């Protein structure tokens, strides 16, 4: 598994569903560079079990992301038609109706490969046949991308482990606090907590107060 933290997020253009029901053919994260932070997350598949809980949880907190100037974008290897159907299926029937942020289709699996979250890979057999080994879908990867297009935080879960939306918000707050104040954020930092001046004196002062 590669580490993208500190690097520019991979560039792509792909079909997506936006606003819950509108298909677009060429959605890209480049539109947010210089404008917004991005939380870009992968999930394994539409119409599954853990996935709807995550997508609905992000929608429930979407106002919190928006007030922090963060765009939330989802992605899986399903088609845009599958996304559209899922987005227009009632929650009581296993759908995610009400989710409005963009969901990208990565049917080619190129985006998942470039972000290094694909749960399998293409290989040749001894007979020279190209086959896919593993699961042709993405792990639960999440990338916090700053306004310059640089990945500042990433986490990758197995398919059975759902992520914490509150932890994602905490990481956004920590990044934005550091950018504004230049102070680094210690373990379990939340807005309003003490941060640390990045110096020997700063860490000594912090540890003396909190230990």
- pLDDT tens per residue across span 130-169: 888 899 999 999 999 999 999 999 999 999 999 999 999 9
Residues 171 and 154 in one domain: no
Residues 136 and 182 in one domain: no
Which tokens go with 90? 């009632």
Residue 8 lies in a domain: no
Residues 49 and 145 in one domain: yes
Residue 55 lies in a domain: yes
Residues 59 and 40 in one domain: yes
Residues 75 and 172 in one domain: no
Where do the H-state alpha helices sit in 45-164?
A: 50-60, 62-67, 80-87, 110-114
Residue 23 lies in a domain: yes
Where do the H-state alpha helices sit in the chain?
A: 50-60, 62-67, 80-87, 110-114, 165-181, 200-210
CA–CA separation, 33 and 146 (whole Å): 8
Residues 38 and 134 in one domain: yes
What is the rounded average pLDDT of the residues 168-176? 98
Residue 72 lies in a domain: yes
* Contact status, residue 87 vs residue 97, Cβ threshold 8 Å: yes
Residues 142 and 201 in one domain: no
Residue spans of beta strands (DSSP E) within the chain: 14-18, 22-27, 37-42, 70-76, 103-105, 118-124, 130-138, 140-145, 151-157
What is the rounded average pLDDT of the residues 88-106? 97
pTM of the model: 0.95
pLDDT at 17: 98
Residue 194 lies in a domain: yes
Phi, psi of 17 (to 5 degrees): -110, 125
DSSP lists the bridge partners of residue 154 as 143
51 is annotated as an active-site residue: yes
Residues 111 and 135 in one domain: yes
Cα separation values, 55 from 83, 170, 179, 201, Å:
12, 18, 28, 43
Residues 144 and 210 in one domain: no
Residues 200 and 158 in one domain: no
Which tokens go with 65? 């992301």
pLDDT at 131: 87
Least Cα distance to 163 among 128, 146, 131, 138 occurs for 138
Catalytic residue among 9, 14, 51, 174: 51
Residue 42 lies in a domain: yes
Q: Give the residue numbers spanning the domain of 48.
A: 14-162
CA–CA separation, 72 and 38 (whole Å): 6
CATH (domain of 66): 3.40.30.10
Residues 129 and 192 in one domain: no
Q: Considering its fold, how many domains does the chain have in total?
A: 2
pLDDT at 121: 85
Residues 147 and 170 in one domain: no
Residue 5 lies in a domain: no
Residue 7 lies in a domain: no
């Amino acid at each position: 598994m590669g580490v993208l933290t500190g690097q520019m997020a991979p560039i792509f253009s792909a079909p997506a569903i936006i606003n819950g029901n509108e298909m677009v053919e060429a959605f890209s994260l480049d539109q947010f560079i210089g404008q917004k932070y991005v939380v870009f997350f992968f999930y394994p598949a539409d119409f599954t079990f853990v996935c709807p809980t995550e997508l609905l949880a992000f929608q429930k907190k979407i106002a919190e992301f928006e007030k922090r100037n963060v765009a939330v974008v989802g992605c899986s290897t399903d088609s845009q038609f599958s996304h559209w159907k899922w987005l227009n299926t009632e929650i009581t029937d296993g759908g995610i109706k009400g989710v409005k942020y963009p969901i990208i289709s990565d049917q080619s699996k190129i985006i998942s490969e470039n972000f290094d979250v694909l749960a399998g890979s293409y290989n040749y057999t001894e007979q020279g046949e190209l086959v896919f080994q593993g699961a042709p879908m993405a792990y639960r990867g999440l990338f916090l991308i700053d306004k310059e297009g640089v990945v500042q935080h990433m986490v990758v879960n197995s398919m059975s482990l759902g992520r914490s939306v509150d932890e994602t918000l905490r990481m956004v707050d920590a990044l934005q606090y550091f950018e504004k104040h230049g102070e680094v954020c210690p373990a379990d930092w939340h807005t309003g907590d003490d941060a640390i001046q990045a110096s020997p004196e700063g860490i000594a002062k912090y540890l003396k107060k909190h230990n």
